[in-house]
């Protein structure tokens, strides 16, 4: 399978040589109704194909990450006590970790207002 660049700059993947009456007559792409004549195509080298694939991967990653990116994650997180309703600012060091299942943990925080211990991130 070959990669082609048309004279219009379009990249064609998975092209195969087309043989008509025992001679080469251009390229075709399996599953497509279009054929391409030799005059309008350039067969791409391995280096050009790798460069195109890297560029496409970079574009895909940028698109997947969206336009907003986190520069610095927040230092503190906020939780609400389910007993007294106090909003608590905490760090990971403030949590008590308890294993619930194999490779699964629950994290608990103790409210300084009422002394209630509640699960952070539990439904």
pTM above 0.85, yes or no: no
Q: Are residues 88 and 60 in the same domain?
A: no
Q: Are residues 12 and 50 in the same domain?
A: yes
Q: Could you tell me if residue 100 is inside a domain?
A: yes
CB 118 within 8 A of CB 106: no
Q: Could you tell me if residue 29 is inside a domain?
A: yes
Q: Could you tell me if residue 21 is inside a domain?
A: yes
Q: Could you tell me if residue 72 is inside a domain?
A: no
Decide if pLDDT at 15 tops 70: yes
Q: Could you tell me if residue 70 is inside a domain?
A: no
Q: How far is CA 8 from CA 13, 20, 47, 60, 100, in A?
A: 15, 25, 20, 23, 60
Tally of domains in the chain:
2
Q: Which tens digits make up the pLDDT trace of 89-106?
A: 988 888 999 888 888 889
Q: Which tens digits make up the pLDDT trace of 70-82?
A: 677 777 888 888 8
* Spatial distance between the Cα atoms of 4 and 54, rounded to a whole number of angstroms: 17
Q: Which tens digits make up the pLDDT trace of 46-55?
A: 888 888 888 8
pLDDT at 108: 92
Q: Are residues 59 and 33 in the same domain?
A: yes
Q: Are residues 51 and 88 in the same domain?
A: no
- Please give the residue that has the higher pLDDT: either 80 or 64: 80
Q: Could you tell me if residue 71 is inside a domain?
A: no
* Domain limits for position 32: 2-65
Q: Are residues 86 and 54 in the same domain?
A: no
């Amino acid at each position: 399978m070959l990669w082609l660049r048309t004279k219009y700059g379009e990249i064609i993947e998975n092209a195969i040589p087309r043989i008509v009456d025992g001679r080469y007559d251009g390229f075709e792409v399996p599953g497509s109704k279009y054929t391409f004549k030799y005059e309008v195509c350039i067969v791409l080298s391995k280096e050009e194909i790798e460069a195109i694939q890297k560029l496409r991967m970079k574009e895909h990653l940028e698109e997947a990450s969206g336009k907003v990116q986190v520069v610095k994650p927040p230092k503190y997180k906020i939780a609400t006590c389910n007993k007294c309703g106090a909003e608590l600012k905490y760090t990971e060091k403030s949590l008590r970790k308890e294993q619930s299942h194999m490779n699964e943990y629950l994290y608990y925080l103790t409210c300084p207002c009422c002394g209630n211990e509640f699960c952070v991130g539990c439904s």
